[in-house]
Structure 1
Amino acid sequence: MSLRLEQIQNFKGRYPFQIWGLFFSEMWERFCFYGMRGMLVFFMIHQLDFTEQQANLQYAATQAFVYAFTFVGGLFADKILGFRKSLFWGGLLMIVGSIFLALDPHKFFFFGLAFIIIGTGFFKPNISTMIGDLYKEGDQRRDAGFSLFYAGINLGAFLGGYICVAIGKGYMFSSLIEEAYRWNVAFGLAAVGMVISLINFSFTQRKLGPIGLHPGHPQAIIKVKPFPKWAEYLVYGLTLLFVPLIQIMVSKTQYTDYFMWSIGPLTLVYLFYEISKLSSSERKKLWAALIFIVFSIFFWGIYEQSGGSLSIFAAKNLNDSLVGMRVDPNGVNNSAGAFFIILLAPLLGLLWLWLGKRKREPNTVIKFGLGFIFLGLGYYALFATRFFSQNGISSLNIFTLALLVITFGELCLSPIGLSIMTKLSPAKLQGIMMGIWFLAASYGQYLAGLIGEDMAKVKETSRPVESLLVYTEGYKTLGLYALIAGAVLIIISPLIRKLMQEVR
């Protein structure tokens, strides 16, 4: 017998039991995604002979399209597929893309990435929306639930982010895997992670009741007239037809500029059309959501140096000793933040609950502001690595400490951002708003690539000392910008809270 929505939402304790199934599906999907992401810049420079500037721009293009397609995935999920079918379709596309990369990452690099980009767009926004549906409107436990879910995201990011690039570079299992096949195995592991994710979700969905069912289903939460079956098949067909187009657009970074200059304005036009049909109260909440979205672009533009300039910095300017252990500095760069989130996210979630019961929990706007403050302090710590260097090679320990500080910033902003999108959005627009949240991350990735490309103008033949000075000076500037943004956000918090009305 299928569970009713009221039965699911009237759970006892801190977390609904369904969150654990979604936790593990997201964990393995993130293993696939972050495993791929962590390899991109290093692979492009050392296997495809890209320059550092090219690699930064290429990385930005790939990530920008990944997050831009979350809007498309959210739109189709809301209108036609539903969250469950969208998730399965996205997962299958990611598996196909990872298999192509595993077969020959040099030959099928952009073709495989095109599948992964589109697949992530269908998968990513919808599982986050289903988490929101586990809670009643106004449930104070929602932020804690998203913080726990965020730990699942980062458990996958930690494992995939370190293991895949470490295997590719020969830091792990080098005696078992021939050098010629290391990158094949590394990309192949991403496919294995995605298969596990879909198998897990096939069991989890039996406990979700009406959550995630496609529009028009008799038991769906939102009662609407169903689309004809051919519309669903049309979505699948158009997706496959778009793969070659996305391959071309990703491989030619100049197309990224055209895409980013058009998708944002078109999305806003569509959103304003949807807003015009809402009540005054709902419109004010969406204006508040848009303020959070705009600030998140700047946050991710600074934060996402991790996959671009910091990947180059780790390879060129860091030793491989972390608290006395020999480790891959690129693997640490890709996975340390996720490791810290695994440790801190549940504790921070419980802290929000504890403070909430005593009516002392910081409101969402203040949490966002604190996210920028910690981000700025973390980038000042990255700047400080120059003071712990010898001949341009700095301490991996200090670098990792900086990632710890940055992680506090991410925990104050990202899981809370997922939660606030579900709180401020009317039910019929939740998938779209979650997609716009990730579209903002797309613009952040795009901005991050431009920033990284500017820092990469240091000559690649220059000595490590010169590279260290250029990159750390850039990180100091980014730290200052983050601190200013945090201060502005805190100053205007009364205005934003007024727009949010009863939402806290």
Structure 2
Amino acid sequence: MESTSMQTIEEIQNFKGKYPKQLWYLFFSEMWERFCFYGMRGMLVIFMVNHLAMDEEVANLQYGATQAWVYAFTFIGGLFADKILGLRKSLFWGGILMIIGSVILAVDPKSLFFVGIGFTIVGTGFFKPNISSMVGQLYKDNDPRRDAGFSFFYMGVNLGALIGGYICIAVAEGSLWQSIVPEHLRWNVGFGFAALVMIISLLTFTQTQKSLASIGLTPLAHLEVSRKKLLENLTYLGSILVIPIVIIMVGNTVYTDYFMYAIGPISILYLFYEMRNFSIVENKKLFAALVFILFSIVFWAFFEQSGGSLSLFAANNLNNQIGGVTLSPNGVNNSANSLFVIGFAALVGLVWLWMAKRKIEPNTIIKFGLAFLFLAGGFWIFYYTKFFADASGRTSLSVFTFGWFIITFGELCLSPIGMSAMTKLSPQKTQAVIMGMWFLASAYGQYFAGILGANIAKASKHATNLEKLNTYADGYYQLAIYALIAGIVLITISPLVKKLMQDVK
């Protein structure tokens, strides 16, 4: 029997005030899931170097491969959610796999490392793309409150990343709660935290999903029950069978190389194949989308040093003081960006509004260019830390954190805008493909981040800690110059891209 408190989708979308109440439930589910994801992210490279005895170069490549698969799977998970499972079942299934993966890592991270990672990768693929789709469906198409809703949701993402990004690694490396957690269990507890918060995330979702009306239910309602069940069960089975393959691919990064060489060109060729049937106007917009996609690869390749080479830099070369407060350098590296996003996202939004009122707001492509200029500034500051180093090769955590402060403004110029640009530039028929390519661009970014980090690490083999600091700093100097060039190129070609974008702002 339907209770009277059940809302229809129209009633949800006609909510009063600023936010629909369902946004809060999705906010908390996503917050705990991002706690799990960023908590894990901060632990991977350090664990591989310190406990799996990998050298830093290999650990960077492993990290790049792991993260690349996570993002490649969000594309696949999104497709299966759209076509078979529906958003809710997909999200639930992904959450279960993530919990299993985190529990495996908590029990025996040393011998079951790649098994746990395999479960987590496939799980994240099913979970991540779907919760934001549900947020979108809380709003009517032209509701002006939608952007505010997404900004608020983005805060949830960053709140989770901030807390998880700091706590997990700080407990694992022993700079937080030393007296409570016995030394031999620190890493188990760090990974265990990720499992615990993922359980909270799933419970939040299952207990509140009644309020979502028909949002995220099965797309196969028109089929008979037995056939629907068969398709769903085949999806579950397939995703479990794919886990061992992922474990092998991540364990041997050469296989990841082959995959990355193939998937990008194939997706671009497929897009060209689709473009035969579109008008010249639509195709121009798609070319503009490709420009954004290609440049976003470069942005993420630099930005995502945070989980790879910057993690090792933080562990080896940073002191643990900011303004007299003792902090975990790695925890700071892993969470500072999220703290600054929470503090300044709204402000950046207000600046764009203020500029728009005065008709001086830069268009999307110039904002992308600005993102690279901020990125260059941040990496230049990472390089500049070398002038604050002591004889043992340790340098200022405060200066390093300031670098993240600058980079955050770059992220705020690119990340929230990029997604909405993709939806505006692609015709309805190719939205899934373009969104998939946007996620694939992140996968490539992560993959190249691993390679860049590995090159920096390779140059610093058998070095003293001070030499290592200089090598890493010089590597960041090079990245700063490349980011600067990319930003200048983007701003220079902006009139051209603007023409391609037609009426899209």
Give the TM-score, by structure 2 length. Answer: 0.92
Worse-matched range after superposition: 236-245 or 5-14: 5-14
The residue number in structure 2 matching 1:125 is 129
Deviations along 1:265-307, whole A, 9 cap, x unmatched? 2323444444445555544433332221111000001111111
Contact 1:154 1:339 in 2 (8 A): yes
Secondary structure of the residue aligned to 1:492 is helix
Alpha-carbon distance, 1:9 to partner: 4.2
- d(CA) in 1 for partners of 2:362, 2:140: 21
- d(CA) in 1 for partners of 2:139, 2:362: 20
1:156 is aligned to 2:160 = yes
> For residues 175 and 92 of structure 1, do their structure 2 counterparts lie closer, same or farther at Cα, with a shift above 3 Å needed?
same
Alpha-carbon distance, 1:90 to partner: 1.0
1:90 is aligned to 2:76 = no
- d(CA) in 2 for partners of 1:284, 1:143: 26
Letter of the 2:65 partner, please give it: A
- d(CA) in 1 for partners of 2:387, 2:192: 40
Letter of the 1:291 partner, please give it: V
- d(CA) in 1 for partners of 2:202, 2:471: 44
The residue number in structure 1 matching 2:496 is 495
1:45 is aligned to 2:46 = no
Letter of the 1:375 partner, please give it: L
> For residues 489 and 137 of structure 1, do their structure 2 counterparts lie closer, same or farther at Cα, with a shift above 3 Å needed?
farther
- d(CA) in 1 for partners of 2:227, 2:424: 27
The residue number in structure 2 matching 1:387 is 387
The residue number in structure 2 matching 1:196 is 200
Alpha-carbon distance, 1:323 to partner: 1.4
The residue number in structure 2 matching 1:474 is 475
Deviations along 1:166-215, whole A, 9 cap, x unmatched? 11111111111111111111101111111111122224433334432332
- d(CA) in 2 for partners of 1:366, 1:181: 49
Letter of the 1:288 partner, please give it: A
> For residues 398 and 353 of structure 1, do their structure 2 counterparts lie closer, same or farther at Cα, with a shift above 3 Å needed?
same
The residue number in structure 1 matching 2:305 is 305
Letter of the 2:489 partner, please give it: V
Alpha-carbon distance, 1:148 to partner: 2.5
The residue number in structure 2 matching 1:110 is 114
Report matched runs for 1:291-440 at 5 Å.
291-356=291-356, 359-391=359-391, 392-427=393-428, 429-440=430-441
Contact 2:27 2:153 in 1 (8 A): yes
The residue number in structure 1 matching 2:58 is 54
The residue number in structure 1 matching 2:29 is 25
Contact 1:93 1:115 in 2 (8 A): yes
- d(CA) in 1 for partners of 2:285, 2:79: 20
Letter of the 1:342 partner, please give it: I
Contact 2:12 2:20 in 1 (8 A): yes
Alpha-carbon distance, 1:423 to partner: 3.1
Secondary structure of the residue aligned to 1:457 is helix
Contact 2:81 2:130 in 1 (8 A): yes
Deviations along 1:479-503, whole A, 9 cap, x unmatched? 1111121122222223333333343
Report matched runs for 1:159-308 at 5 Å.
159-217=163-221, 228-278=228-278, 281-308=281-308
The residue number in structure 2 matching 1:72 is 76
> For residues 125 and 280 of structure 1, do their structure 2 counterparts lie closer, same or farther at Cα, with a shift above 3 Å needed?
farther
CA RMSD of aligned residues (A): 2.3
Worse-matched range after superposition: 275-284 or 380-389: 275-284
Contact 1:32 1:190 in 2 (8 A): yes
Query: Structure 1, unaligned stretches of length 5 or more?
Result: none
Letter of the 2:172 partner, please give it: G
- d(CA) in 2 for partners of 1:274, 1:78: 19
Letter of the 1:75 partner, please give it: L
Count of aligned residue pairs for this structure pair:
498
Deviations along 1:34-57, whole A, 9 cap, x unmatched? 111100011011111110111111
- d(CA) in 2 for partners of 1:313, 1:116: 26
> For residues 132 and 285 of structure 1, do their structure 2 counterparts lie closer, same or farther at Cα, with a shift above 3 Å needed?
farther
Q: Percent of aligned positions with the same letter in both sequences?
A: 59
Contact 1:35 1:157 in 2 (8 A): yes
- d(CA) in 1 for partners of 2:418, 2:155: 15
Alpha-carbon distance, 1:475 to partner: 0.7
Letter of the 2:218 partner, please give it: H
The residue number in structure 2 matching 1:463 is 464
- d(CA) in 2 for partners of 1:356, 1:147: 18
Query: Structure 2, unaligned stretches of length 5 or more?
Result: none
